Amino acid sequence: MRLGALIQDVTTPDRVFYTQDTKPFVAGGFVWAGWDYLGEPYPYAADDDAPRSSYSGIIDLAGFKKERFYLYQSRWQSDLPAAHIVPHWNWPERVGLVTPVHVFTWDDIIYEPGEVKVIVYKNGKRWSSDTVVTTGKAVALQLSADRNTITADGEDLTFITAEVIDSKGNVVPTANNAIQFDVSSLGVIVATDNGFPGDLTKFPSTKRNAFNGLDLAIVRSEPGKAGRIKVSATSDLNGTEIVVTAKTEWGS
């Protein structure tokens, strides 16, 4: 018997939170799943090709935070100032139409390009805020690394995030440009991902479309090869690169 079946097979976070707050005998909750995983793509495989992974994670397969991440963060870290607007403000097809805006509460407003800002007050004082803006067209790629220095042992990894940005540096949330990743001889690209369960591109592929304006390349060091690892990303927009340093265990 699955744990969820003890109460209800599937339920929503708001119902779980309400039950926890109003029923003293409820010890806690169970989330399935914290992170997307390969297989079990229900319920989104009915008409199209079956996705490769689940959709239910708080974090997607590439390690990018989904919108529900911020819901659980605000619940589990109640002392952390939090505000998050879902999901973006790029709706050219909805200009002049009533459009729902969710801030883990919601409101309906007339859409027009610009800025949506939410300000959270706690005990009468400003506590947190969040802003989403309508971005411009995608014009460039931007790279960042979770680790700028790794060990040259053939096992250590760095995760390179590619962002599709507009002229002001905003990530374009609707961008899905194809991105080609390349690396110098001191490193190797072991996998790419974008977090979209319906993308069936093989993980070892060095070319992958962005999803929600994001893409990921995982780079591994080569054993005994210290130096500068150059990771580049190219698309129909431009080319850019980032440098990660590989050092041997004895520091060279």
Q: pLDDT tens digit string along 15-47?
A: 888 888 889 898 888 888 889 998 776 665 556
Residue 156 has pLDDT above 90, yes or no: yes
Residue 123 and residue 187 in one domain: no
Geometric angle at alpha carbon 159, from 155 and 162, rounded to 5°:
150
CA-derived radius of gyration, the chain: 21
Residue 70 and residue 105 in one domain: yes
Q: Report if residue 4 sits inside a domain.
A: no
Residue 155 and residue 128 in one domain: no
Q: What is the pLDDT of residue 42?
A: 62
Look at residue 49 and give its three-state secondary structure. coil
Q: How many domains does the chain have?
A: 2
Q: What is the pLDDT of residue 5?
A: 39
Q: Report if residue 26 sits inside a domain.
A: no
CA distance 37 to 57: 8
Q: pLDDT tens digit string along 214-239?
A: 999 999 999 999 999 999 999 999 88
Q: Report if residue 252 sits inside a domain.
A: no
Residue 36 and residue 103 in one domain: yes
Cα 89 to chain centroid distance, Å, stands at 17
Residue 99 and residue 193 in one domain: no
What predicted TM-score, i.e. pTM, was given to this entire model? Answer: 0.73
Residue 96 and residue 168 in one domain: no
Q: What is the pLDDT of residue 82?
A: 76
The two counts, helices (H) then strands (E), for the chain are 2, 13
Range of the domain at 72: 31-87+89-133
Q: Report if residue 12 sits inside a domain.
A: no
Task: Provide the percentage of residues in the chain whose pLDDT is more than 90.
Answer: 47
Residue 53 and residue 129 in one domain: yes
Nearest to 218 by CA among 157, 162, 164: 157
Q: Report if residue 67 sits inside a domain.
A: yes
